[in-house]
Structure 1
Amino acid sequence: MRIALCQLTTGPDPEKNLRLIEEWTARAAAEQARVVVFPEAAMACFGTPLAPLAEPLDGPWAEAVRAIAHAHGTVVVAGMFTPAPDGRVANTLLATGPGVEASYDKIHLYDAFGFQESRTVAPGERIVTIDVDGARLGLATCYDVRFPELFRAHADAGAVASLLPASWGAGPGKLDQWELLVRARALDATLWVAAAGQAEPEAAEGSAPTGIGHSRIVGPDGSVRHALGAAPELLVADLDLDEVAAVREKTSVLANRRPEVWR
């Protein structure tokens, strides 16, 4: 499966960010990408008041993303914000394109490193996978990468890859943690992880997470197969999905689990 990671920097204006999604999707489609992954907060960057711009999944922003995906014959995965019942928003991944329509609300909220996402964002409650050309892909968002049980749940649901849009906050040790966690989640769930981060902005203000770049595609054996730096860049790569079964036969961590011990 050929996928594209769109490591870009979004701003506070959803309409301008839609134009970026159109441009980068066209570039990815020109390289025959079947799945095009945008970062978390592709609709609008963190640091923007979220409630006034949040839209439902049948609203104009999501409909525009659907139109882009169908126009280019690709599956697009992009981070947006949808209204939550309690006045907060949900940090939502929209996955849409020919034969695919799903959404995932971020389960684990970033109440860490001096930032409190839960003040404005309500947590999701569902594990979500999508099927593309017969291959199952799990959906996760940014801080979710610190929780291995979600990625193992993707594997238990039949996923051979997890897609991980992110807006990873900068700070001491954060790049090392990002690289370690993305590789660890691939290895302990023995699946591909395609992690698409916001590029590092030229200037960052405030305490909201923005991005550090360094998008990664990691194989099911935990090895980094493709890596970007901090700047905006498009990464297109082919995933050998048959490799998952071979690695799982050799490294049987899923089969060797003993969940009954922990209950």
Structure 2
Amino acid sequence: MRIALAQLSSSTDPAANLGLVRRYVAEASDAGAELVVFPEATMHSFDRSPVEAAEPLDGPWASSVRSVAAEHGTTIVAGMFTTTASRRVRNTLLVTGAVEASYDKLHLFDALGYAESDTIQAGDGPAVVELGGVRIGLATCYDIRFPALFTRLAELGAQVVVVPASWASGPNKVHQWRTLACARAMDSTCFVVACDQAEPAVVSRKPTGVGHSLVADPYGSVLRELGSAPELAVVDVDLSLVVEARERMPVLRNARRFPPGA
């Protein structure tokens, strides 16, 4: 499978961000990408309150992204914020193109003095989609710190897990990001495709990204890592490596399950 990492720096203007989506998808499609992965908060950055800009999955922004996917004959994963019946919204991954699905972020970033749960409502469960016979798990940013989610996605059949992110900056954060992506690949014996927001020109206290989007193989080796600036990269992943890794290192089969309180 040929996968594109679209590392961009989104602004607080959804229309301008849609323009970036159009440009990156056109370039990725020309390069033969079947799947184009954008960061969390592609619709608008965390510099704007998600509550102010959230739209339904059939709203104008998501509908425009669907049109881009259809125009170029590819599948897109992009982060947006969607409305709910409550005052809080969802941090959602839109999946559109050859497959139509969505995933709402499960683990909310209530850490380092930031409280995502003030405005975001957590999702209800894991999600796996199938694209061209490949099972793809979905996760978002802070989810990458929770190994059980990734092993569960593998149990549900995932061979690849995409992780759009808007990774908060700070000491050792790039090291943590890279280490966690590689560890989750080994935990799940999946390819992990981790696409972060580029580092913005002016770093704020909000989680706006550090760049360093990467692809890790099921053994935890980094196949490609970007720098901190906006960039598009196309990576070919050989799914036979998942089969090989699961035979040689059968951590999913060997894992013991412990009851609560054990």
State the partner residue of 2:242.
244
Count the aligned residue pairs: 261
User: For 1:218 and 1:247, how far apart are their aligned partners in 2?
Assistant: 13
RMSD over equivalenced CA pairs, Å:
0.9
1:32-47 superposed matches below 5 A = 32-47=32-47
The Cα offsets for residues 126-164 of structure 1, whole Å up to 9 and x where unpaired, read as 211111100000000000000011111110011101000
Match of 2:254 among 249, 253, 256: 256
State the partner residue of 1:184.
183
State the partner residue of 2:109.
110
The Cα offsets for residues 32-77 of structure 1, whole Å up to 9 and x where unpaired, read as 0000000000000002022121000011110000000010000000
Amino acid at match of 1:20: L
Unaligned regions of 5+ residues in structure 2, if any?
Answer: none
State the partner residue of 2:206.
208
Amino acid at match of 1:164: V
Amino acid at match of 2:83: P
1:214-225 superposed matches below 5 A = 214-225=212-223
- SS at structure 2 position matched to 1:92: strand
User: For 1:110 and 1:261, how far apart are their aligned partners in 2?
Assistant: 27
User: For 2:49 and 2:198, how far apart are their aligned partners in 1?
Assistant: 21
The Cα offsets for residues 177-223 of structure 1, whole Å up to 9 and x where unpaired, read as 11110000000110000000000011123x21101000010000011
How far does residue 85 in structure 1 lie from its aligned partner after superposition? Answer: 2.1
State the partner residue of 2:167.
168
1:64-213 superposed matches below 5 A = 64-98=64-98, 100-205=99-204, 207-213=205-211
User: For 2:24 and 2:223, how far apart are their aligned partners in 1?
Assistant: 22
Asked if 1:18 is matched to 2:18, the reply is yes
With normalisation by structure 2, the TM-score equals 0.98
User: For 2:249 and 2:84, how far apart are their aligned partners in 1?
Assistant: 41
User: For 2:50 and 2:67, how far apart are their aligned partners in 1?
Assistant: 23
With normalisation by structure 1, the TM-score equals 0.97
Amino acid at match of 1:175: V
How far does residue 175 in structure 1 lie from its aligned partner after superposition? Answer: 1.0
How far does residue 173 in structure 1 lie from its aligned partner after superposition? Answer: 1.3
How far does residue 261 in structure 1 lie from its aligned partner after superposition? Answer: 5.6
Identity of aligned residues (%): 51
- SS at structure 1 position matched to 2:224: strand
User: For 1:85 and 1:224, how far apart are their aligned partners in 2?
Assistant: 41
User: For 1:198 and 1:25, how far apart are their aligned partners in 2?
Assistant: 16
User: For 1:140 and 1:36, how far apart are their aligned partners in 2?
Assistant: 15
Unaligned regions of 5+ residues in structure 1, if any?
Answer: none
